[in-house]
Every structure is written in structure tokens, then in C-alpha cells.
Amino acid sequence: MTAVPAPPAIAALQRRTLRLLFTAQVLGGLAVGIGIAVGALLVDDMTGSSTYAGLAQSLFVGGSAIVAVPAVRITEHFGRRGGLVFGYGCAVLGVAAVILAIHLATAPLAVFGYFLLGSASFAGLQSRYAAADLAPAARRGSHLALVVWATTIGSVAGPSVAALAERAWQSRFGGPDYVGSMAAIGVLCLATAILLSALLRPDPLLTARRISGEAEAPKRSIVDGYRTARTNRAVRTGVIAASLGHFVMVGVMAMTALHVKHGMDDPTDALTAVGFILGLHVAGMYALAPVIGRLTDRYGARAVLVAGTAVLIGACAIAGSSAVDDHVRISVGLVLLGIGWSAMTVAAASLITAAVTPAQRPSTQGFSDMTMGLAAMGAGIASGPIVEHLGYGMLNLCCAAVALAVVPFLMRESRFGPPPRGPEAATGES
């Protein structure tokens, strides 16, 4: 049996793990940022339909949901390293499928490729849990949020890099539009997978299980995660809040690119404007994550979830009342949308992690991320037809109503203070 590391060794391993995850999130976030900027525009150009464009974005997040099922199994057996490498590896295959679809002018294959590409988004979300595996209970939210914040660097630049990569590819190789952007995503995902495979050792999850005496615990699946959420009130609250918050963010964000594009004549100018606005949105998603993590540690996850819900509703009101050429108002709404999402995601992840033991984490966290992905997929599928038939303002109104649906679940909780700091935090059954 492998010896349990001493506390100083655990602290040193956690610092090393955070540095590595930080670097990986920069690369992976850049890939996801490019994918978000390009997806709706690519499929809209191929099909001429906002509905199908929304479908591409929905399957992008849907891929992050479906990949959770095998990824949880892989994580159970091989630790965080195996699950993360699997996610980025699937994304590389997705890039190959999209590039082939562009050359063949086959929209269904492009949509399928985006489904696989969503695995990169799943891997990025799972990285926040890897950061929490060895974190001290009193700083779990801060450590988790640090890795979320790292995504800022890549994701903010991602939409703008999409235009740069496209111009560079076209000037050197020519060919169909969007191939350069997709090639950049593939290189970034491959580099991230190689980095994690080589350096995420020893594995933080497997180490946490040895520390807790659960190294030999039975392997769990997504179904076990569902059972935990059903019986554990804290987990249930976290899953619902994270999923509905993700629904709102993806529903509005997915169609904002088309809202902006419909107010502009030149496709290149539209891509530049979309890149700038979505870059600000992604900055809102990640830049304040360390502050949100500290607030979560100090005041408790539920209080931050309430605040995040209020910000999401305000974001929908501002973005939904914007004209197609009012880029300032759209930008403000999208920044607030990102901040609200960040509050919901960080606080929910901290709440879920604190409520379960290391042996339960992969299945419960995987179930949460799968639910988030399915909720976002539903948002993407619905957003296209709503915008096409009712308009961007009505889409925001519908998303605000979804955000309000979180409130009854949070109000049922009698306690809004910080979670317990000891082993009792893992016994949230009700």
C-alpha cells in the first residue's frame, strides 16, 4: 500500500497541482473560447438558419454532458488525469470531424463534430474539481475559483484569436472559411492533453482517497451520482442551481453572436465584433472567480447562489432590451451574464464538493456536470427557434424566468452561512 503523504507534502503537491491546472486551463480555455465564437457562425453560414446554428451550440454543450458518463468511469479507475486527458482527446477528434465537414460542405457532420468538441468544455469544468481534491476545507472555494479564473486568459482571447487564426490560415493556405479557427482549437486541445498526461502526477483525486482511507472504495458511476443528489440536500441544491444558471448563460450567449451579426453586413467585421463582445462576456465568466471563491468561503455557497441569480436576471434585462447595433448595451449585459454564471458555478461546485467524501466525488461531480450540459443543450436547442420567430428580447425574457426558478430551491434552505469545516461536511443527507 502506498504511504499517505505528510501534511507538508500534501500542501506542496496541491501548490504544484494548482500551477499545472492553471496552465492547462489557459490552453483549454483558449480552445473553448474559439469554439464558442465560431460555432454558431459556421453552421449559420452552412445552413442559413438560426435554428440550426443554435443546434450546433447546444450540441457543443451536449457533448460535455454525454462525455461525463465514460469520463466518470475513467476517472474512477485512473484518477483526474485519465478523465481530463479523455475529454481533451475527444475534442481533438471533434475538430477533425468539423474540418472534414467544412471541406465536404456537410452541416450534419459539422454539428456532430461540435458535439465531440464539447468534451473540451467538460474537461475544463472538471479541472475545478481537481483543484479542490486536496484543498483545505477553509480554502476550497478559493482554490477551486483560482482554476476557474485561469480560464480567463485563454477564453477572453479565444474569440479574437479565432479571427486572427482565420486570417493567418487564409493568407497562407486559402480554402474554406473557419478551417484556420478549427485547426487552432485542435492544436490547443492536443497540447493540453499531453501536458496533463505527462505532469499531473501524483493524481490529486487518488491521493485524496488515500488520505481519507477510501483508496479501496467501490468504483461508482453516474447513476451513483444521481442517487447521492437525490438523498443529499446540499448536493441537490448545488446541482439544480448550477444547471439552471448554465441554462440561462448558454441560452443568451449562444444567440448573441447572431444578434450582432444580423446588424452588420460584412462577415469579417461581424466576427471581429462578436469576438470582442464574447471576449468581454468570458472575462465576466472567469475574471472575478477568485473574489467569488473568497466570498463563498466566507459567507457560504447558498448566499453566493442567491446573489448570482439576481445578477443573471439583471443581465437578461439589459441584453434583452438592446438593439442589434447597440454593442455597448449588449456588452454590459453579456459581462453581467458571465459574472452571474461564475457565481452560480463556483458556489455550486464548492457546495457539492464539501457535501461528499472523496470516494463519492467523481460520480457526484460528473452527474452535476452532465446535468449542466443537458440543461445547456436544451437552452441551445430552444434559443434558435425563439430568436428566429420571437426575437432576441423574448429569448432573454424566457431565460430570466428560468433564473427565477432557482429561487424556491434556495429559499427552502434554512442556513446561508459557511459550510462545516470538518468531516461533518460530507454528511448532508436529509
Amino acid at 337: L
Which runs of consecutive H residues, i.e. helices, occur in 67-200?
Answer: 68-104, 107-132, 140-172, 179-199
Residue 240 has pLDDT above 60, yes or no: yes
The whole-angstrom separation of Cα 282 and Cα 185 is 17
Domain membership of residue 413 (yes or no) is: yes
User: Which residue type sits at 353?
Assistant: T
Q: Does 32 map to a domain?
A: yes
pLDDT above 70 covers what percent of the chain?
Answer: 90
* Burial call 184-202: b when 16+ CB within 10 Å, e when fewer: bbbebbbbbbebbeeebeb
Confidence band, pLDDT 50/70/90 cuts, at residue 51:
low
User: Among 309, 297, 367, 299, which residue's Cα sits nearest to residue 343?
Assistant: 309
Q: At what angle do helices 327-354 and 301-320 cross, to 10 degrees?
A: 160
Determine, yes or no, domain membership for 1: no
CB atoms within 10 A of CB 324: 14
Residue showing cell 426558478: 405
Task: Compute the Cα dihedral for 48, 51, 57, 60 and give only its sign.
Answer: negative
Residues 294/140, Cβ–Cβ less than 8 Å: no
Q: How many domains does the chain have?
A: 1
Does residue 2 lie within any of the structural domains?
Answer: no
Q: Which residue has the higher pLDDT, 205 or 157?
A: 205
Q: At what angle do helices 7-47 and 179-199 cross, to 10 degrees?
A: 160
How confident is residue 279, by pLDDT bands cut at 50, 70 and 90?
confident
pLDDT at 320 over 70: yes
Beta-bridge partners for 232: 429
CATH number of the domain encompassing residue 381: 1.20.1250.20
Amino acid identity at 246: H
Pick from 31-40, 297-306, 332-341: least confident: 31-40
425 has a pLDDT exceeding 50: no
Domain membership flag for residue 237: yes
Q: Which residue has the higher pLDDT, 395 or 384?
A: 395
Phi, psi of 245 (to 5 degrees): -65, -40
Report how far residue 192's alpha carbon sits from residue 88's, in angstroms, rounded to the nearest whole number: 7
Question: What per-residue confidence (pLDDT) applies to 422?
Answer: 39
Alpha carbon 124 to chain centroid, angstroms: 6
Residue 417 pLDDT exceeds 60: no
pLDDT of residue 427: 37
pTM: 0.84
Mind listing the pLDDT tens digit for each residue in 112-143? Answer: 998 899 899 889 989 999 999 999 988 999 99
Q: Pick the closest to residue 374 from 185, 226, 152, 233 (CA basis).
A: 226
Phi/psi at 4 (nearest 5 deg)? -75, 130
Q: How confident is the model at residue 286 (pLDDT cuts 50, 70, 90)?
A: confident
pLDDT tens for 6-22 read 678 899 999 999 999 99
Whole-number Å distance between alpha carbons of 75 and 220: 10
The residue that leads in pLDDT, 4 or 147, is 147
CB atoms under 10 Å from CB of 423, counted, come to 10
Is the bond into 202 cis (omega within 30 degrees of 0)? yes
Q: What residues contact residue 235 under an 8 Å CB cut-off, 6+ apart?
A: 228, 229, 351, 352, 355, 356, 364, 368, 428
Q: Does residue 194 have a pLDDT over 90?
A: yes
**pLDDT at residue 426 above 90?**
no
- pLDDT tens across 224-233, in order? 999 999 999 9
Residue 244 host element (H or E): helix 233-261
Asked if pLDDT for residue 325 goes beyond 90, the answer is: no
Residue 322 is given by DSSP the state -
Examine the pLDDT at 295 and tell me if it is beyond 60.
yes
Q: Which pLDDT belongs to residue 107?
A: 87
Query: Which of the 8 DSSP states describes residue 242?
Result: H
Q: Give the model confidence (pLDDT) of 93-111 as tens digits.
A: 999 999 999 999 998 899 8
Amino acid code (one letter) for 214: E
Residues 146 and 21: their CA atoms lie apart, in Å, by 9
The residue segments making up the domain with residue 312 are 7-208+217-426
Average pLDDT, the chain: 87
> Residue 50, CB half-sphere, CA atoms under 13 Å: how many?
21
Query: Which cell is 34 given?
Result: 474559439
- Which pLDDT belongs to residue 50? 63
- pLDDT above 90 (res 82): yes
Question: How far is residue 353 CA from its own chain's centroid?
Answer: 16
All three cell numbers of 340, joined, read 452571474
- State the pLDDT confidence band at 265, using cuts at 50, 70 and 90: low
In this prediction, residue 429 carries a pLDDT of: 39
- Write out the three cell numbers for 211: 488520505
Tell which residue, 124, 104, 101, 103, has the closest CA to residue 112. 101
- Provide mean pLDDT across the span 276-301: 89
